[in-house]
């Protein structure tokens, strides 16, 4: 029987459709025990060597070249999610191992959370809730989203959905992306501007770009110096997009600025000084965590695995050059 090793914490946890599909398709689905977490590259390689899987279904844990070589039976890596910055794609390709992700499955969920955290920040909901629970009855003065300028960095699937949700609130929307979407301009009155102008003019900046070499720490001291002293930063993409030390300095200096962070450079961020700031709304990487998104994601992962092992060429294989020589 083929073995699917599940590193992702959420595959099969919220809904059961993914493991059920794989089991019907002849796979034994094996999870990783909580006592073995957190998973660094060394521990992950050890587990893969021990379990000998045919497929790894991974979350955010590192899938390095050593991990890929640890099982002689390994034929595929399936990302339970979209971003694959934790997977050595070059190594997988050189080893003839297809890598796939689940694009579009969590788009709505992440877009919803981005807009929700914008509203939470500008209406000071966390402060108001805490004050009320402690017996205070303070009047917290916030802002109206429709009177603000929102800068959207990255207008791919998720960024575009954020823009569509924002239109009903009526803010001015600025956008920055290396590839511009003319439909967003025509249908949603989006204005593409330079990165520098977006930093200067936005009241809220929301990040929706992948973590690649060009985007690592794209928000550092220089960028924060250009932003308004009252700006709000939303990051539900990848923690590595932001220089967290520079963000801490910015938020500590400008008390009326704030950030909503669903992702961190190290997760869980137990030692992060950002967690000690009152103007940080921190959540535990839950942007994709809706029942609906998990059902779509689990199903796509399971079906992609079965289709690949049956000799098909799913469109979400990220290194399709490995498929002609794929041996189930």
3-state secondary structure 170-219: CCEEEEECCCCCHHHHHHHCCEECCHHHHHHHCCEEEECCCCCHHHCCCE
Q: What is the pLDDT of residue 328?
A: 77
> Quick one: CATH architecture of 2-105+290-325?
3-Layer(aba) Sandwich (3.40)
Active site residues: 238, 267, 285
pLDDT band for position 278 (cuts 50, 70, 90): very high
- In order, the DSSP letters of 52-116 are --SEEEESSS-B-HHHHHS-TT--EEEESSS--TTB-HHHHHHTT--EE--TTSSHHHHHHHHHH
Angle at Cα 288 formed by Cα 103 and Cα 74, nearest 5°? Answer: 55
**CA atoms of 185 and 191, how far apart (whole Å):** 6
Name the percent of the chain lying above pLDDT 70: 100
**CA atoms of 96 and 219, how far apart (whole Å):** 36
**CA atoms of 1 and 89, how far apart (whole Å):** 26
Tens digits of per-residue pLDDT, 171-226?
999 999 999 999 999 999 999 999 999 999 999 999 999 999 999 999 999 999 99
pTM above 0.85, yes or no: yes
pLDDT band for position 314 (cuts 50, 70, 90): very high
Provide the mean pLDDT of the chain.
96
| First vs last C-alpha separation in the chain | 12
Rounded to an integer, the average pLDDT of 67-88 is 96
Q: Which of 202, 210, 105 is nearest to 156 (CA)?
A: 210
User: Contact, 15 vs 291, CB < 8 A?
Assistant: yes
> Quick one: CATH architecture of 107-282?
3-Layer(aba) Sandwich (3.40)
Answer whether residue 162 shows pLDDT above 80.
yes
**CA atoms of 72 and 68, how far apart (whole Å):** 9
Domain range summary for the chain, segments of one domain joined by +: 2-105+290-325, 107-282
Q: What is the pLDDT of residue 326?
A: 86
Tens digits of per-residue pLDDT, 99-112?
999 999 999 999 99
Q: Do the domains spanning 2-105+290-325 and 107-282 agree at the CATH topology level? A: yes
Beta bridge partners of 58: 79
Q: What is the pLDDT of residue 327?
A: 80
Name the percent of the chain lying above pLDDT 90: 97
pLDDT band for position 87 (cuts 50, 70, 90): very high
Q: How, if at all, do strands 99-100 and 76-79 pair? A: parallel
Answer whether residue 92 shows pLDDT above 80.
yes
**CA atoms of 286 and 236, how far apart (whole Å):** 9
Q: What is the pLDDT of residue 100?
A: 98
């Amino acid at each position: 029987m083929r073995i699917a090793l599940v590193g992702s914490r959420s595959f099969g946890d919220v809904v059961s459709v993914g493991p059920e599909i794989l089991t019907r398709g002849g796979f034994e689905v094996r999870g990783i025990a909580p006592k073995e977490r957190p998973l660094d590259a060394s521990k992950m390689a050890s587990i893969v060597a021990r379990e000998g899987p045919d497929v790894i279904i991974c979350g955010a844990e590192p899938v390095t070249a050593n991990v890929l070589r640890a099982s002689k039976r390994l034929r595929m890596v399936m990302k339970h999610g979209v971003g694959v910055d934790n997977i050595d794609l070059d190594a997988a390709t050189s080893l003839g191992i297809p890598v796939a992700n689940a694009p579009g499955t969590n788009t709505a969920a992440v877009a919803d959370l981005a807009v929700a955290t914008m509203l939470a920040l500008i209406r000071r909901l966390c402060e108001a809730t805490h004050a009320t629970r402690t017996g205070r009855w303070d009047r917290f003065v916030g802002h109206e989203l429709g009177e603000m300028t929102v800068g959207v960095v990255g207008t791919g699937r998720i960024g575009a959905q954020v823009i569509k949700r924002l239109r009903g609130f009526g803010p001015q929307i600025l956008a920055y992306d290396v590839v511009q979407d003319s439909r967003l301009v025509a249908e949603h009155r989006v204005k593409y501007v330079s990165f520098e102008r977006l930093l200067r003019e936005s009241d809220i900046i929301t990040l929706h770009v992948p973590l690649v070499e060009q985007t690592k720490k794209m928000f550092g001291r220089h960028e924060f110096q250009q932003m308004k002293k009252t700006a709000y930063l939303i990051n539900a993409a990848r923690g590595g997009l932001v220089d967290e030390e520079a963000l801490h300095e910015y938020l500590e200096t400008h008390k009326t600025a704030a950030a909503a962070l669903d992702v961190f450079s190290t997760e869980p961020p137990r030692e992060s000084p950002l967690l000690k700031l009152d103007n940080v709304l921190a959540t535990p990487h839950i942007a994709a965590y809706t029942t609906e998104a998990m059902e779509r994601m689990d199903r796509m992962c399971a079906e992609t695995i079965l289709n690949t092992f049956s000799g098909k060429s799913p469109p979400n294989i990220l290194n399709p050059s490995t498929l002609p020589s794929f041996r189930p």
